[in-house]
Structure 1
Amino acid sequence: MEARRPRSRSRSAAIRAALRDLRVQLALLNHQVGYRLSLKDAELDCLDVLARDGAMSPSALARLAGIHPATLTGILDRLERGGWIVRDRAQTDRRSVTIRIVKERSADVYRMYRGMNSAIDTICADYSDEELDLIASFLQRCGDAGVTATEKLAVG
């Protein structure tokens, strides 16, 4: 069992390096998408959270996007002016707000990612369903580890 540890550490290091490279490339892609759509990175992040999770309160969006609530107000103002989101106010309590994405505008974002999404589809075609399930599970677990590490840093 001891003999496997160095090899395992080496593979783990290679995976961490690949994930770092992927993070950089995705950040560059996101930056280009934001530039072409006149969106800042945080604005693009908010749109992504809304597209993924649906309409939500500003406080939920701030938490999921990792943005301070005071900062989120300015972001929401810019997104609303740009026609990217709508703030729906409750009839009974006008202070209660739900943020939702404007579907027609989100198509603009999806078009920008078409090349990357097609490339991922091509890559996935080389793997079996079982392998893809394993890869998806691995990436989900890595994402969960990131959430845990972020929470620990935020507390400490």
Structure 2
Amino acid sequence: MSSDADRTATRRRRQLTVAVRDALRDLNIQLSLLNRRFGNRVELRDIDWTCLDLINRHGPLSPTALGRLAGVHPATLTGILDRLQKAGWIARERDPESTDRRAVTLRPVRDRNPVLFQLFSGMTQRMDEVCAEYTDAELEVIADFLRRAGAAGHESAEELTN
């Protein structure tokens, strides 16, 4: 009897794991669609938006640091930064700490953030509604899972880089 229960438990665990992976794939698709539509509204390519988000979240950054975070080749990054600066999303500032006069620091233009907040307000509201249905303890587990899933994605992307 115990072996039947073990098989049932193993099968159930496998089904749940597949359901989580499928849900993450569906989430990835929906977020990609959301980001693409958002990008169209503010005239940013997907990679431009990714870089802007990284600068907003982790900046100020050097172009080298941004390139590493975004997994973008330096030549490609130059075009991205040119577009972001021209559209007024970022500022390139000379780095006074550097002995290299060409060194710059990338800073977000925070005055533009209300545009981003407005465009994402529907998603923010919907996510607040989703989160309201969970206890604090459940939200801690969900946040931990998402951080760990993000780390797994980062590690997997790094593997593909090498």
The TM-score, its normalising length taken from structure 2, stands at 0.91
C-alpha displacement of 1:149: 1.2
Alignment of 1:47-62 (within 5 A): 47-62=52-67
Post-superposition offset of 1:90: 2.4
Decide which of 131, 137, 148 is 1:130's aligned counterpart: 137
Q: Alignment RMSD, CA only?
A: 1.1
What residue identity is the alignment partner of 2:21?
Answer: R
Residue aligning to 1:74:
79
Offset from partner CA, 1:4-55 (integer Å, 9 cap, x none) = 2211110000011110000000000000110000110011001110111121
| Structure 1 counterpart of 2:38 | 33
Larger Rg: 2
Q: Which residue of 2 aligns with 1:144?
A: 151
Find the counterpart in structure 2 of residue 115 from structure 1.
Answer: 122
CA distance in 2, matches of 1:138, 1:45: 22
Distance in 1 between residues matched to 2:150 and 2:118, nearest whole Å: 25
Where does the alignment leave 5 or more consecutive residues of structure 1 unmatched?
Answer: none
1:20 is aligned, of 6, 19, 25, to: 25
Structure 2 spans left out of the alignment, 5+ residues: 1-5
The alpha-carbon deviation at position 147 of structure 1 amounts to 1.1
Q: Percent identity?
A: 49
Please give the secondary structure, in 2, of the residue aligned with 1:55: coil
- Match status 1:95 vs 2:102: yes
* Corresponding position: 1:11 with 2:16: yes
Aligned pair count reads 155
